[in-house]
Amino acid sequence: MSDSTVRIGLVLPDVMGTYGDGGNALILRQRLRMRGYDAEIVEITLNDPVPESLDAYTLGGAEDSAQRLATRHLTKYPGLQKAAERGAPVLAICAAIQVLGNWYETSSGERVDGVSMLDVTTSPQATRSIGEVITKPHLDGLTLPLTGFENHRGGTTLGPDARGLARVNHGVGNGVGDGQEGVVQGSVIGTYMHGPALARNPELADLILKRALGVDELPTLDLPEVEQLRRERLRV
């Protein structure tokens, strides 16, 4: 960590905040505070360069025009890329996967270069994927099913340097017929799960926090309401 306060970067909420994914940063901050850590959210807008010194980063979903703005900004200010290179955890939701990928196609068929943090490409699919998704995670440190709400038309193909976050048990996932949901590459975790994802998947939230803190374990939080939410969502 950079100092005694854990700093969570909320990246471009002004353009990548369509689906309430900024809630993921709130979850990280709250779970840290409940364990006695000082924590703050650093909002990084189109008016700000992206600092490379933060402890964790989250990005949310957006439409085509907003994706272009985000891609341009992250290319001009590559702090996120530099942070990931040193191992800072990055959570990318939905359209953020596409922005961080090699390229994505817009709904009109135009191909736009991404920032190439993820070895993925994304093209529009014939049918939009909307609904609950439940998956079995591949990632070490995750043992429980992942649950979220997907709402996307993108079909994301994983390249050789990327791997899926999880295998789909219910829902669509990446949308290219390989049964995968999300992507993992280096310290970057990408998923199409809204919800926000970390509110619905506390184990994933704590994995990100452990990486941010550089620790192997965190004290358990007893939150019955979160477990109730998970039970309800996993009954789909």
Question: Do residues 19 and 194 touch, judged by C-beta distance below 8 A?
Answer: yes
| AA letter at 94 | C
Rg of the chain, C-alpha, whole Å: 16
First to last CA, the chain: 39
Query: Which residues does the annotation place in the binding site for substrate?
Result: 128
In sequence order, the 6+-apart residues with CB closer than 8 A to the CB of 44 are: 9, 10, 11, 12, 50, 51
Residues with a catalytic annotation lie at 94, 194
